[in-house]
Amino acid sequence: MLVAGLVVAGVLACAFFVLTMARSSREPLPEHSANFANGELLFWAGGCASCHAAADAEDSDLLILSGGRSLNTPFGVFRSPNISPDPNFGIGGWSMLDFVNAMVKGVSPDKRHYYPAFPYPNYQNIEIDDLLDLKAYLNTLPPSSNEVAGHSLQFPYSLRRGIGLWKWRYLARSRSDRTNEASEQIERGRYLVRGPGHCGACHTARDQFGGEITERLLAGAESLEFGEGNDASSAGRIPNITPHAEGIGGWSESDIAYALETGFDPDFDSFGGSMVEVQENMARLPAEDRAAIAAYLKSIPAISSEAH
Amino acid sequence: MATVALGATTYVSFAADELAFANQIEARQSFMHVYRFNLGLLGAMAKGDAPYSAEQASAAANNLLAASKMSNGAMWPAGSDMGAEGYAGVTWAKPEIWSTYPKIGEKGAALTEALEAMAAGAGNGLDALRSNMGGVADGCKGCHEPFRAEND
């Protein structure tokens, strides 16, 4: 009996070990000659500076990706890492393959899982050539020797190995493949929204384990970023951006593109909260990319906001 | 369905009326509406949805400038933030307004500065109006980014 129990426990421990291993890809990368302008576009579309530059950074300081911003959430405090090209404190020592594994698999060069506060479930949708351009661009930015403390998470979220199980359940369902049914413009918009733009990271509601609920795609969510009150009472509600009447169904495509360019909604209220940084990133994209985002957002299913 | 929705709305406004700072919150939200209304007049011209009129643009810009110079501290009593009991869903004002005071005053001064430029330029043609919209947007976002929670 005791032997049988030990065997079962052993099998379970092995299964946990195998299931939660951090798997990275060793497939060779394609030949690529870097397009730095495209890398810069990806940098703004991806909102890298909004988590990795200092909280009060403006203009050229947005290019110093020293990390250290804290994100106070129901799971605990996440601190964004230094992703400047510094070889010791940043990611200057990473190979292209290291970078691709981080962005697509959520795995670090030393084979540990990243927490999905880093939006790799969205970033896995970025094309490989775009990832290579982005890394080439990041390599040109100023190095920073800022040393960032680790996350301070509550149990059981503090068990990094558990992310392996999380990935089995959630990672594949966040994939957004081309449909080839929509226009080139809508496909470009889908790519920007579901890939680099990672709009769903805030605008799609998450379940109790922090996985995006795919049936509620972009239909709004409780904000997971706590304010000074340090609980849900100090977090806002992220708007529904589907074409539902409770979302932005009343906005035209040009209203959406104008809002992303200027920060003014159709009623001439300004964006606020964390959307301000997102909008200011989007304002740096070519106008046709903002129009593509608008066209895609008008094409997705209209979903009612969750009951408050 | 309509009855249910109406019932819910009535309940919310009734509950808000019971709050100690209902009057102040209504006043400041109406005050923001005056900004949006005048900005909408300028914005419609900037977007090309309405024909440019130097006279109407100047009038709207001067209204905005006058609004930004109004003393409105009495509309923002301490304890009227979204985290205070009963205020969730009534206001989205974050407690940081009060805990970082007088930072909000600096933000207000920056908005007034942007509106001075808009008031000086709005009557000088569509290009001048358009070139001042970004500064005004920055002025609005100056407070809305740190001090207003997201809401839908």
The DSSP secondary structure of B100-118, one letter per residue, reads TTTHHHHHHHHHHHHHHHH
Closest CB to A236: pick one of B32, B92, B140: B92
Which residues on B lie below 8 Å from A224 (Cβ)? Answer: none
Q: In this predicted structure, what is the pLDDT of residue B16? A: 63
Instruction: Decide if A239 touches B, using CB distance below 8 A.
Output: yes
pLDDT at A293 > cutoff 90: yes
Residue B49 pLDDT class (50, 70, 90 cuts): very high
**Percent of chain A having pLDDT more than 70?**
99
Residue A145 pLDDT class (50, 70, 90 cuts): very high
Closest CB to B141: pick one of A240, A254, A276: A276
Residue A96 pLDDT class (50, 70, 90 cuts): very high
CB contact under 8 A, A267 and B36: yes
Sign of the torsion angle spanned by Cα atoms B126, B130, B131, B135? positive
Whether B152 is covered by a domain: the verdict is no
Which residues on A lie below 8 Å from B107 (Cβ)? Answer: none
Interface confidence, given as ipTM, is 0.90
Residue A85's φ and ψ, nearest 5 degrees, are -75, 15
Q: In this predicted structure, what is the pLDDT of residue A78? A: 96
Residue B2 pLDDT class (50, 70, 90 cuts): very low
**CA neighbours within 13 Å on the CB side: how many for B82?**
26
Which residues on A lie below 8 Å from B149 (Cβ)? Answer: 223, 227, 234-237, 272-273
Q: In this predicted structure, what is the pLDDT of residue B17? A: 67
Place of tokens 């929670």: B149
CB contact under 8 A, A227 and B149: yes
- Cβ atoms < 10 Å from Cβ of A11: 10
Residue B5 pLDDT class (50, 70, 90 cuts): very low
Instruction: Decide if B88 touches A, using CB distance below 8 A.
Output: yes
Instruction: Decide if B27 touches A, using CB distance below 8 A.
Output: no
Residue A28 pLDDT class (50, 70, 90 cuts): confident
When divided into structural domains, chain B yields a total of: 1
Give how far Cα B147 sits from Cα of A58, A139, A253, B90, B101, Å: 18, 35, 29, 15, 11
Sign of the torsion angle spanned by Cα atoms A84, A85, A91, A95? positive
pLDDT at A284 > cutoff 90: yes
Q: How does pLDDT run across B69-99, given as a tens digit for each residue?
A: 999 999 999 999 999 999 989 999 999 999 9
Instruction: Decide if A227 touches B, using CB distance below 8 A.
Output: yes
* Dist. CA A217–CA A240, nearest whole Å: 9
Q: In this predicted structure, what is the pLDDT of residue A27? A: 84
* Dist. CA A298–CA A202, nearest whole Å: 18
Closest CB to A236: pick one of B35, B40, B150: B150
Which structure tokens are listed for A61?
């300081």
* Dist. CA B19–CA B25, nearest whole Å: 10
Residue A304's φ and ψ, nearest 5 degrees, are -65, 150
Strands A70-73 and A76-79: antiparallel
Interface of B with A in 93-122 (CB under 8 A): 94-96, 99
* Dist. CA A119–CA A112, nearest whole Å: 16
Domain of residue B68, CATH code: 1.20.120.10
pLDDT at A300 > cutoff 90: yes
Residue B55 pLDDT class (50, 70, 90 cuts): very high
Which structure tokens are listed for B78?
């301490």
Asked if B105 contacts B143 with a C-beta cutoff of 8 angstroms, the reply is no
**Percent of chain A having pLDDT more than 90?**
80
- What does pLDDT average to over chain A? 93
Q: How does pLDDT run across B93-135, given as a tens digit for each residue?
A: 999 999 999 999 999 999 999 999 999 999 999 999 999 999 9
CB contact under 8 A, A227 and B95: yes
Q: In this predicted structure, what is the pLDDT of residue B1? A: 34
- What does pLDDT average to over chain B? 90
Asked if A300 contacts A243 with a C-beta cutoff of 8 angstroms, the reply is yes
Q: In this predicted structure, what is the pLDDT of residue A307? A: 54
| A–B interface: beta-carbon pairs under 8 A | 92
Q: In this predicted structure, what is the pLDDT of residue A110? A: 95
pLDDT at A178 > cutoff 80: no
Whether B42 is covered by a domain: the verdict is yes
A113-117, A226-230, A268-272, B124-128: range with lowest mean pLDDT: A226-230
Asked if B53 contacts B36 with a C-beta cutoff of 8 angstroms, the reply is no
Sign of the torsion angle spanned by Cα atoms B83, B89, B92, B97? negative
Backbone φ/ψ region at A55: left (φ over 0), alpha (ψ -120 to 50), beta: alpha
Q: In this predicted structure, what is the pLDDT of residue A179? A: 76
SS3 B25: helix
Q: In this predicted structure, what is the pLDDT of residue A34? A: 96
Q: In this predicted structure, what is the pLDDT of residue B106? A: 96
Instruction: Decide if A74 touches B, using CB distance below 8 A.
Output: no
Closest CB to A272: pick one of B39, B88, B144: B144
Instruction: Provide the residue ranges of all domains of chain A, joining segments of one domain with +.
Output: 32-175, 177-308
Instruction: Decide if B7 touches A, using CB distance below 8 A.
Output: no
Residue A21 pLDDT class (50, 70, 90 cuts): confident
- Which residue segment(s) compose the domain that B84 sits in? 2-147
Of A249, A225, A220, A246, the C-alpha closest to A235 is: A225
Residue A235 pLDDT class (50, 70, 90 cuts): confident
Q: In this predicted structure, what is the pLDDT of residue A276? A: 97
Which structure tokens are listed for B124?
């000088």
Structure-model confidence comparison of residues B30 and A22, the more confident one: B30
pLDDT at B3 > cutoff 50: no
Q: In this predicted structure, what is the pLDDT of residue B13? A: 52
CB contact under 8 A, A240 and B145: no
Whether B97 is covered by a domain: the verdict is yes
Asked if B149 contacts A223 with a C-beta cutoff of 8 angstroms, the reply is yes
Strands A237-238 and A221-222: antiparallel
Note the Cα A103 to chain centre separation in Å.
9
